[in-house]
Amino acid sequence: MRIVCIGGGPAGLYFGLLMKRRHPEHDVTVVERNRPYDTFGWGVVFSDQMVAAIQQADPESAAEIADAFNHWDDIELLFKGQRLRTTGHGFIGIGRKHLLNILQRRCERLGVKLVFDREVESDLEFPDADLIIASDGVNSRIRERYKENFKPDILVRPNRYIWLGTHKLFDAFTFDFRRTEHGWFQAHIYKFDAETSTFIVETTEETFLKHGLDKLDQDASIAFCERVFAETLDGAKLMTNARHLRGSAWLNFSRLTCEKWTHYNGRSHIVLMGDACHTAHFAIGSGTKLALDDAIELADQFDRLGHGKENIEAVLAAYGEARRVGVARVQNAARNAMEWFEVVGHRYADTLEPKQFFYSMLTRSQRISHENVRLRDPVGLAEYERWLAERSGVEVGPDDQPPPPMLTPYAARGVKLANRIVVSPMAMYSAQDGLLNDFHFAHLGARAMGGAALVFAEMTCVSPDARITPGCLGLWSDEQAALWKRLVDLIHSVGHAKAGVQLGHAGRKGATRAPWEGIDQPLERGGWPLISASPLPYLRNSEIPREMTREDMDRVRDDFVAATRRAAGAGVDWLELHCAHGYLLSSFLSPLTNRRTDEYGGAHENRARYPLEVFKAVREAWPEDRPISVRLSCHDWFPGGNTPDDALIFAKMFKAAGADMIDCSSGQVVKEERPVYGRLFQTPFADLIRNEGHIPTIAGGAISEADHANSIIAAGRADLCAIARPHLADPAWTLHEAARIGANIVPWPKQYQSARAQYEANLARAGSVGE
């Protein structure tokens, strides 16, 4: 086979040498526009895992690379005058030049033809090639030439960075944050050889422009960075090796994905590889890893399916199939980390205390969870857990094991929660006339014994016509209130849980059947007239609601107040106002469902006017010493709908009106929504609102393990975690998860004590404690 790699970066060189090594008959050429010793950039970072992969793929070059490695375990944070350190992280740094020179030498030894100083204009310059590797980097000319086929998606990110070096040596991967009069700058610093460290400086576009950095040349920019990081540099100089870049040398990172990775040009098969195909932000340092992994996978597929030309098509198909998931995983982690650095200044640096800021930074990619941090640095994590616990008011004796973050207490007004876990409200559609019955007592009683600190019943409706289905709970009568008192007494009597009510009005989503009889389908018989912000039906076959008049608004507000008083009288500890999921109050907030032209429609302030009126009336009727949370759909997941930025605006309004917390949900506002689900998919909304809106939040949605909850609470991404479906599967979710992580500190109901020791022993035997 004739193989041409266009671009002699890590991807092209490594693929070239692997193919020649595995099948010496191949004719392999790598064409590079630079000379062998010219390259842009300083050091790159590898992980221990990457070392194992290259060791297996080509032990000879791996040995040379290993000799050149600078290994370090520590990460250090310089922040607000503090120096914080953690260990056990296992990084390896190597100069990019050095790495390329090792790969070039290895190519030569194996018989790969290296052509330097040749700028390739087109793949058609190699008409005899059977296989062309487009390894020509992020600005790939080959990808551009066939962009209709590859369908690249390039997203230019807002932050600016400049890639510099220094002769000051750092013994840890160092992150240095400095505040200037116009905003924050951060430096990512790591040593990569005996004399040099990489020093990448990053800031937001706004801060970049305010400092006039767009008008400075490279030398002036370097002088500026030397001033900002003078304390850390301690007299050392910063250097550039990107003299070929004209202008300011401050770049924007481009996040690239491609729909297709391969193309046939009529003579040769072309495959994109490395940065030409996908990029990963330097915040997790995985660009080189992706490039090398691509090369390894493609060579492996040739081994698997055969090294002949006739196999190329099948090999490329198998390669794409095998790589896509792994690439997406790294790109997702890189995106999380990149976004963290994009908002870090105003969201975290100004808000979090240094210790929590450090933890937040360590877990920024969300690939490293609480238990991963523990594996790396058990002592450091225990210290952090102790600090968190003490901050929550727990006294931890010198020999005591601190509680994990999700088991620290939390106080809101006069209510003290034993831990951070909440049974999220879940409609059960099993009531008659809005009355609690045996099902609810059994269902909620079981969850009250399961270890969670706060047990919400389902959305409870403020009038008969506020119900979603005829099976919904209500609080419009004294008979209902009396049963609520019994429920609250039950919850209080069986353990430490507090009782929560979520008051709501279904609005245009009312008068439907129970979901098991047809989700959101209108009742065939016995329905009632619907009201909403605007006369828009939820489904095409739903009843058209009446646009609420001022009279309707008065009545519904008074219904909310009456229900609030009944809940207070029943001893409910916590009230939540349901302003999410397309129900009545939510229908005012979303521009998709609110088309009003009066003072209740249009701008945020108008759309929030009625929900805020209800909130204020409820707040007034609710005892001063008991908290109220507001549940918002923080994303409508539909063009033209609310986004997290809109939710932040509403959250601030509710906070100003006296809300204690925002319960961050999303969607269910319009049927055509296109939500992006995934692990912890709504937690970013809780994080945004908590740390930019400066109001406590509840995170919910696909939080299914203690490790998730611990990571969220420890990083300050939310204050409480609402767990819904896992609590349907396991009423004692909190007890079981606590046992699973070896935190045997949540009291079990005394009647169940005999089960506890056996349960914990079984877990220990199964080896899952602490995993």
Active site residues: 583
- Residue 282 binds which of ligand FMN, ligand FAD, none (CB < 5-8 A, kind-dependent): ligand FAD
- Residue 34 binds which of ligand FAD, ligand FMN, none (CB < 5-8 A, kind-dependent): ligand FAD
Binding ligand FAD (rule: CB under 6 A), the pick from 19, 21, 26, 32 is 32
Which contiguous run of DSSP H or E holds residue 335?
helix 312-343
Q: Is 289 in the site for ligand FAD (CB under 6 A)?
A: yes
Binding ligand FAD (rule: CB under 6 A), the pick from 274, 545, 641, 701 is 274
Instruction: Report yes or no: 374 and 381 within 8 Å, Cβ to Cβ.
Output: yes
Q: Is 502 in the site for ligand FMN (CB under 6 A)?
A: yes
| Angle, helices 59-68/48-57, rounded to nearest 10 degrees | 140
Nearer to ligand FMN, 162 or 422 (CB): 422
State the minimum distance, in angstroms, from the CB of residue 723 to ligand FMN: 5
Instruction: Report yes or no: 210 and 183 within 8 Å, Cβ to Cβ.
Output: yes
Binding ligand FAD (rule: CB under 6 A), the pick from 7, 451, 696, 716 is 7
Binding ligand FMN (rule: CB under 6 A), the pick from 165, 445, 693, 701 is 701
Segment interacting with ligand FMN (CB under 6 A) among 156-164, 411-419, 492-500, 723-731: 723-731
Segment interacting with ligand FAD (CB under 6 A) among 130-138, 167-175, 310-318, 678-686: 130-138
Window 436 to 495, contacts with ligand FMN (CB under 6 A): 458-459
Window 747 to 766, contacts with ligand FMN (CB under 6 A): none
Q: Is 661 in the site for ligand FMN (CB under 6 A)?
A: no
Closest by Cα among 38, 7, 29 to 114: 29
DSSP-derived secondary structure letter, 435: B
Binding ligand FAD (rule: CB under 6 A), the pick from 11, 315, 530, 661 is 11
Q: Is 135 in the site for ligand FAD (CB under 6 A)?
A: yes
Amino acid letter for position 214: D
Q: Is 236 in the site for ligand FMN (CB under 6 A)?
A: no
Dihedrals phi, psi of 262, to nearest 5 degrees: -130, 160
Within 590-678, residue ranges assigned H as helices are: 604-607, 609-621, 644-656
Q: Is 343 helix (H, G, I), strand (E, B) or coil?
A: helix
Structure tokens at 712: 């969220």
State the minimum distance, in angstroms, from the CB of residue 279 to ligand FAD: 7
Nearer to ligand FAD, 272 or 661 (CB): 272
Closest by Cα among 699, 722, 719, 694 to 634: 699
| Total residues binding ligand FMN (CB under 6 A) | 20
Q: Is 287 in the site for ligand FAD (CB under 6 A)?
A: yes
- Residue 265 CB partners (closer than 8 Å, separation 6+): 123, 124, 132, 146
HEC letters along 493-541: HHCCCEEEEEEECCHHHCCECCHHHCCCCECCCCCCCCEECCCCCCCCC
Binding ligand FAD (rule: CB under 6 A), the pick from 15, 126, 150, 163 is 163
Structure tokens at 256: 């690239």
- Residue 424 binds which of ligand FAD, ligand FMN, none (CB < 5-8 A, kind-dependent): ligand FMN
Which contiguous run of DSSP H or E holds residue 739?
helix 733-740
Segment interacting with ligand FAD (CB under 6 A) among 40-48, 203-211, 445-453, 731-739: 40-48
Q: Is 734 in the site for ligand FMN (CB under 6 A)?
A: no
Q: Is 65 in the site for ligand FMN (CB under 6 A)?
A: no
DSSP-derived secondary structure letter, 350: T
Mask: binding to ligand FMN, 630-649, rule CB under 6 A, as x and -? -x------------------
Closest by Cα among 20, 42, 66, 57 to 195: 42
- Residue 11 binds which of ligand FMN, ligand FAD, none (CB < 5-8 A, kind-dependent): ligand FAD
Q: Is 137 in the site for ligand FAD (CB under 6 A)?
A: yes
Sheet containing 27-31: order of strands: 113-115, 27-31, 2-6, 131-134, 269-272, 262-264
Q: How far apart are CA 365 and CA 75, in angstroms?
A: 15
Q: Is 425 in the site for ligand FMN (CB under 6 A)?
A: yes
Which residue pairs, CB below 8 angstroms and at least 24 apart, start in 640-646? 640/591, 640/592, 641/590, 641/591, 641/592, 641/669, 641/670, 641/673, 642/589, 642/590, 642/591, 642/592, 642/669, 644/684, 644/685, 644/688, 644/689, 646/589, 646/604
Binding ligand FMN (rule: CB under 6 A), the pick from 207, 221, 279, 665 is 665
Q: Is 285 in the site for ligand FAD (CB under 6 A)?
A: yes
Q: How far apart are CA 287 and CA 274, in angstroms?
A: 7
Burial (CB < 10 A; 0-12, 13-18, 19+), residue 382, is middle
Segment interacting with ligand FAD (CB under 6 A) among 9-17, 323-331, 399-407, 552-560: 9-17
Q: Is 724 in the site for ligand FMN (CB under 6 A)?
A: yes
Q: Is 614 in the site for ligand FAD (CB under 6 A)?
A: no
Positive or negative, the Cα torsion across 495, 497, 498, 499?
negative
State the minimum distance, in angstroms, from the CB of residue 488 to ligand FMN: 18
Instruction: Report yes or no: 355 and 373 within 8 Å, Cβ to Cβ.
Output: no
Q: Is 426 in the site for ligand FMN (CB under 6 A)?
A: yes
Q: Is 2 in the site for ligand FMN (CB under 6 A)?
A: no
Q: Is 44 in the site for ligand FAD (CB under 6 A)?
A: yes
Dihedrals phi, psi of 39, to nearest 5 degrees: -160, 155
- Residue 137 binds which of ligand FAD, ligand FMN, none (CB < 5-8 A, kind-dependent): ligand FAD
Burial (CB < 10 A; 0-12, 13-18, 19+), residue 756, is middle
Q: How far apart are CA 360 and CA 712, in angstroms?
A: 9
Binding ligand FAD (rule: CB under 6 A), the pick from 2, 23, 105, 141 is 141
Positive or negative, the Cα torsion across 213, 218, 220, 226?
positive
Q: Is 675 in the site for ligand FMN (CB under 6 A)?
A: no
Residue ranges binding ligand FAD (CB under 6 A) = 6-12, 31-34, 41, 44-45, 119-120, 135-137, 141, 163, 200, 274-276, 282, 285-289, 291
**Interface positions with ligand FMN (CB under 6 A):** 424-427, 458-459, 502, 578, 580-581, 631, 665, 700-703, 723-726
